[in-house]
């Protein structure tokens, strides 16, 4: 059967992987409320990088943080919070 899609359908993921990623996404959103956190989507439709967009200047410095894993994004956002704290201290 022919499809009009220019690319193959995204591979299916196990429920465990999806549940784990959803849980980690929820945890990141809970822990870093100054950012909007989401997953990028690759050209094949599968989930890609972990992305955080800054919405509260007190929570970070860089407007967008992109990492390849949830753990790396968490570490980067902790560093962002520290950088924001230093920036506030310098501006006082």
- Name the residue ranges covered by the structural domains of the chain: 15-87
Inter-residue contact 68 to 74 (CB < 8 Å): no
**pLDDT at residue number 65:** 98
End-to-end CA distance of the chain: 66
**pLDDT at residue number 89:** 84
Inter-residue contact 66 to 39 (CB < 8 Å): no
Burial category of 54 from C-beta neighbours within 10 Å (exposed 0-12, middle 13-18, buried 19 and up)? buried
Among 37, 40, 67, residue whose Cα is nearest residue 52: 37
- The model carries a pTM of 0.77
pLDDT along the chain (92 residues), means of 10: 56 63 97 97 96 96 97 97 90 70
**pLDDT at residue number 44:** 96
**pLDDT at residue number 29:** 98
**CA atoms in the 13 A half-sphere facing the CB of 32:** 30
């Amino acid at each position: 059967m022919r499809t009009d899609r220019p690319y193959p359908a995204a591979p299916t993921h196990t429920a465990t992987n999806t549940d784990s990623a959803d849980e980690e996404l929820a945890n990141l959103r809970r822990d870093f409320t100054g950012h909007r956190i989401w997953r990028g989507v690759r050209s094949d439709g599968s989930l890609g990088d972990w992305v955080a967009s800054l919405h509260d200047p007190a929570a970070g410095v860089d407007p967008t943080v992109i990492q390849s894993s949830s753990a790396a994004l968490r570490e980067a956002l902790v560093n962002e919070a520290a950088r924001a704290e230093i920036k506030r201290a310098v501006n006082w």
